[in-house]
Amino acid sequence: MDAKLVTQHRSHVWAGKRGMHKLRSSPSILAVLARPADNLTLVKETPSLLTDNWFDRIAINHLSQSVQATTGLRNSKSGYESLVEAAAMVSRNFDPIQQCELVIAALNKAFPSPILSLIRTLMPQSKFTREYFAAFTTLFFAWLVGPCKVIESEINGRREKNVVHIKKCRFLEESNCVGMCLNLCKNPSQKFIKDSLGMPVNMVPNFDDMSCQMIFGQDPPRDDPALKQPCYKLCKAKKNHSVNCSI
């Protein structure tokens, strides 16, 4: 059975340098359906070339060191490669449940709990908070996920700019591993953001083009189709790091 996407056609509005622009109606990904019979084959494209600035390098190193300190597994690489290697070592040495728990512990180490508690207290869930979280993500976390932008969705019958559209996820592209995406990014991030900041978020990866949507204010579905997705045939993590891609 071929993989299919559950979509909803919506008109997107975004703010450019010359004012507001309305895009033609385009599908917004709500869920990724699994292709149970055959593993995905990655479409070969030119790798994304990203240049990290001084802030990006500090943030990448801080998160990488937090993961390494939490797991006790060290590596000698630098930059984003060090972060991917740290994640690969977690995937290689721990089962999926432990992977999620370790990433959450690393995030708690990376982000001081008093600040998180203050944000949760001062910013209860609302339209403003959902849109703020989306805008904040695009401004300060592009170093982690790659270029992204805020788009609109409908929540509780109202239009809000509460969705972050990641054009091509940097972490997924570098690891090329569905298991690492789900166990080390999607699942722990959703739980961490909700438990620490009180904000439900549904991360919807598209494993065909490596894009992703972060929908703030929406809980992930109980029977999340993304969790049934097989890994790529050309999984870099399995080839380069001996990672078990189990989900």
- At 45-97, the pLDDT tens digits run 555 668 899 999 999 999 999 999 999 999 999 999 999 999 999 999 999 99
Among candidate residues 12, 60, 1, the one with its CA nearest the CA of residue 36: 1
The model's pTM is 0.78
H helical segments located in 141-243? 142-145, 170-175, 178-181, 187-197, 236-241
Residue with tokens 């999620």: 100
The whole-angstrom separation of Cα 32 and Cα 175 is: 19
Residue 235 — very low, low, confident or very high, per pLDDT cuts 50/70/90?
confident
pLDDT beyond 60 at 22? no
What is the radius of gyration, based on Cα positions, of the chain?
Answer: 18
Residues 128, 130, 133, 134: is their CA dihedral positive or negative? negative
pLDDT beyond 60 at 197? yes
Residue 11 — very low, low, confident or very high, per pLDDT cuts 50/70/90?
very low
| Half-sphere exposure in the Cβ direction for 136 (13 Å, CA) | 8
Q: What is the pLDDT of residue 241?
A: 54
Q: What angle do CA 40, 214, 245 make, to 5 degrees?
A: 35
DSSP state of 228: G
Q: What is the pLDDT of residue 2?
A: 44
Pairing type for strands 26-32 and 5-10 reads: antiparallel
- At 145-174, the pLDDT tens digits run 999 999 999 988 899 999 999 999 999 999
pLDDT beyond 50 at 20? no
Residues 171, 175, 177, 182: is their CA dihedral positive or negative? negative
C-beta neighbour count of 140 within 10 angstroms: 11
Kind and range of the H or E element at 203? Answer: strand 201-206
